[in-house]
Structure 1
């Protein structure tokens, strides 16, 4: 036996076993048969040649790495194909768009495996993209032919989930129509026509959630433009609130305005602003999918005597309400409909969490009012008049100051547990407010709380404080005074409830104290602080906005795509931060997308460290798009991710252009980068007039590939190329 064959012989039995499993499972699939069969055939082409004695069986680290990568691809392929043999017909078909992306990813990986193993294959023929298109269309045609079977299964599922729903029949029809609509969208995408490109642009604005992926379980609220349901986001197994907007059809112009309103809300991530998780935009359903807040609105909570039993609770709620309003005002959003019904609440360990909702919906409200005129006018007039500022009653324009007036009325509700102007005629309310009359404030309300109420509802808009000034005032009041005596309807027994903002041992307070130790315009180091997404609004506001830090280090924390979204918001118009280091978090491709969009026009940031963040080819392509317009980033750190050849080639193509200002690129320890990327890297190094350093060690490059890369670029003087790195023990 030849010594050189030991590596192949070590891996071959397990590779053959997994391949055999793939062949057997493929015979049993009942959906996406053509694509599964094509994937199986490609596996067989590679495995058959591996058994041929004529192939190179050199016992080298590069051969071992290539075989190990192939084994991993085969395992993932088997697991993926098995979905179409075992799952119910609904789960096999409903998320076909997601399946398509996985098919493409596995095909790319197999192709790269074949190249890395240097197999005698006609890669372009075996991995023909046109064949993939035909297979995709054939599978979609099969799905179209099984609509009756899918409807039957969806009906069974509907019966289980909606046993108590009297409108089950209508709900089922809407979900089935949604599935058919999604299927038509998939077919259009497969055709790759003009419509497909338009859909792609639309889908970039926010996460589109099909209605058939949602279950409306219980009606929990009705407002001027929408019905709100507690529900389930099926594919995510996540409880949500589904706000079904009362619209039936939209003109193209109106639709584009609505889409951009939703996109604005979707982009906002802040602790005290209700998060929009996505939206359903379908012919028979327009809905926002938002965070579910178990206690409902502040209006509801005030009606329940079990909650808000201390003045400490009230101060905390007032502070959180004001923070939400202040954040919207800081990004130039005037709410226009502030009231207790639009502050949503949840119970947390230390007290209550408050978030403002229903902001940025001017066009949606207008269109809903037009389509359901009689009902909308009735609800709006009775639901918002009590909170309207006097200048709005005189047909003035909504402003931040009019929002503050409405906030003052809501403070009054919080203090008194009463409904403003209850049982009074609308004409009487209008006349009284315009003439300067205000609600009575009971004597047992603490003077400090009375002060924020009266200042907020001043008759003259210019005399009202800003939200930021109110935050300072509330914070000062709560730190300077002890718990005030409770009014007659407050139980003193529960007056020791401590809320997150006011707890001396609260982690948020400690983090804020830490940030405050750094000087204005300096480096802020928050490494290893167990920072999560919930902390990111504070980090963004305190470190980036207030401290105007020039360098921000947040390495080895627990930040995900949601935290990245908050960072992105802070970076849009930032003029001070030049370095951002995020090593070893969980940013992922979607988080990279948020950051890339924010930095596209940013002219300040120079260094961006994203190593060890589970970034794949998709994330690398977002960054490549960023570098097309941003020429100020000089250092990009992408080490220790999951980027492969496709991502590297996208980056290399952009960096090769003369306009790119990138000087240092780190791609080390991305094991999916193979010799397939050598030519692109050589072209990038030779053509780029800015790039000075490239780290590409400990990837999937062979020794021959590294040698070729060094030799072909040796003529470029003062260029540092790291293909091998000796780590100190």
Structure 2
């Protein structure tokens, strides 16, 4: 019985490899899923050769067949012209594709312990490494960024609108929500979704207006679960530009960490470290520098998941902020001269975000003064691994700072160890 199921597994997986060769969209994630399937399925050939008919594999193999068949049907949707066009048109209204990819990868991962039980040690380690959380997080984030870039190019080639202009009349129940130095925020409903309207307080000159629209078009590539969703732009009767964002119940990460409610346990705070790092890593994978990263640029939804925001008009915001204030939370190399920012600038700013999460993890929350970071880190009682990551991010020499990919790998590794010990 087991050998017959394995034969079925091999047949379905072969069809998957053939299907992936013909996909027209989400190519990186499709090929990555195919590679992981191959990694898991190939060792099963040895069981066939050995004539191993052990019942220990039976249930896992049946689950594998089901998962592979669902994967095959899902991947087929990317080979049909009509389906691809439909996905291009609604790619920025839903995250179903990403959720399905993650679900399939997770289901395959859950089968690894049983299906590798009888393999030689080296072969088993190779499969386990392929499906480890650390490997999957970094690979999947990079693949998602690459796929969305390709979709952006296809959208442009097809002449489809690259962002949505929302009519002011379609925004219902508008109320003043909050104000910052640069923006007025309104709450509203758009097509039964709770949204936030972000209206600039600074004057939009013709040059800034052009930059505003250019940035809005570029935001199409940031349709990720790691990034606050953008519904589109709205221009009211007074020619005032507003950006329409998804509503994030708990506001900024800065507000959340400073409040007593809701209670943030150790697991949640460690997960937030991963999510904040992954959000910035995704932006960097899109060849974009945030340039004004802080706790205020991370927003928290009702499920306490953190998403990055605030990068969409960071150039305009930076110009205004620098002209109005001499205060600088950027690294020393950006506080002098031309203030040119680069990915390593973002890494430094992320170090401040991570340090704030670590102070809350240690049982307190306080404002992070960049000039006092070294003293704070020397007296912080937390696990060594995330603290070392924060220290490396805050290095004075930008060349000594890690990339965000390295940060994600280190923090994900820490998360795996921390959750295993709970």
How high is the TM-score relative to the length of structure 2? 0.55
2:219 is aligned to 265
**Residues of 2 paired with 1:207 and 1:442: CA distance?**
49
Q: 2:284 aligns with which of 329, 354, 358?
A: 329
When residues 328 and 462 of structure 1 are mapped into structure 2, their CA distance, relative to the original with a 3 A threshold, is same
Gapped runs of 5+ residues in structure 2?
1-158
Secondary structure at the aligned position of 1:206 is classed as: coil
When residues 419 and 215 of structure 1 are mapped into structure 2, their CA distance, relative to the original with a 3 A threshold, is farther
**Residues of 2 paired with 1:315 and 1:240: CA distance?**
28
- Per-residue deviation, 1:306: 2.7
1:222 is aligned to 179
Q: 1:420 aligns with which of 346, 364, 367?
A: 367
Residue 250 (structure 2) pairs with residue 298 (structure 1): no
- Per-residue deviation, 1:287: 0.5
1:399 is aligned to 342
- Per-residue deviation, 1:447: 1.5
2:244 is aligned to 289
Which of the pair is proportionally richer in helix?
2
Gapped runs of 5+ residues in structure 1?
1-201, 423-428, 485-495, 497-729
When residues 256 and 317 of structure 1 are mapped into structure 2, their CA distance, relative to the original with a 3 A threshold, is same
CA contact (8 A) 2:297 2:309 kept: yes
Secondary structure at the aligned position of 1:347 is classed as: coil
Q: How far does the alpha carbon of each residue in 1:130-175 deviate from its partner, in whole angstroms, 9 at most, with x for none?
A: xxxxxxxxxxxxxxxxxxxxxxxxxxxxxxxxxxxxxxxxxxxxxx
**Residues of 1 paired with 2:204 and 2:167: CA distance?**
17
When residues 228 and 478 of structure 1 are mapped into structure 2, their CA distance, relative to the original with a 3 A threshold, is same
Residue 422 (structure 2) pairs with residue 480 (structure 1): no
- Per-residue deviation, 1:381: 5.0
When residues 249 and 297 of structure 1 are mapped into structure 2, their CA distance, relative to the original with a 3 A threshold, is closer
- Per-residue deviation, 1:256: 2.7
- Per-residue deviation, 1:361: 1.3
**Residues of 1 paired with 2:204 and 2:331: CA distance?**
33
2:403 is aligned to 466
Higher relative contact order (CA 8 A, sep 6+): 2
2:391 is aligned to 454
**Residues of 1 paired with 2:318 and 2:239: CA distance?**
19
- Per-residue deviation, 1:452: 1.4
- Per-residue deviation, 1:217: 4.1
CA contact (8 A) 2:359 2:380 kept: no
1:7 is aligned to none
1:276 is aligned to 230
1:346 is aligned to 301
**Residues of 2 paired with 1:255 and 1:245: CA distance?**
11
- Write out aligned runs for 1:336-415 (5 A): 336-348=291-303, 352-365=304-317, 369=320, 377-378=323-324, 385=328, 387-395=329-337, 396-415=339-358
CA contact (8 A) 1:272 1:320 kept: yes
2:381 is aligned to 444
Secondary structure at the aligned position of 2:395 is classed as: coil
When residues 317 and 366 of structure 1 are mapped into structure 2, their CA distance, relative to the original with a 3 A threshold, is closer
The aligned length equals 259
**Residues of 1 paired with 2:160 and 2:218: CA distance?**
14
- Per-residue deviation, 1:416: 1.3
- Write out aligned runs for 1:498-577 (5 A): none
- Per-residue deviation, 1:474: 0.9
RMSD: 2.9
How high is the TM-score relative to the length of structure 1? 0.33
**Residues of 2 paired with 1:309 and 1:289: CA distance?**
29
**Residues of 1 paired with 2:302 and 2:389: CA distance?**
25
**Residues of 2 paired with 1:439 and 1:411: CA distance?**
13
Residue 161 (structure 2) pairs with residue 204 (structure 1): yes
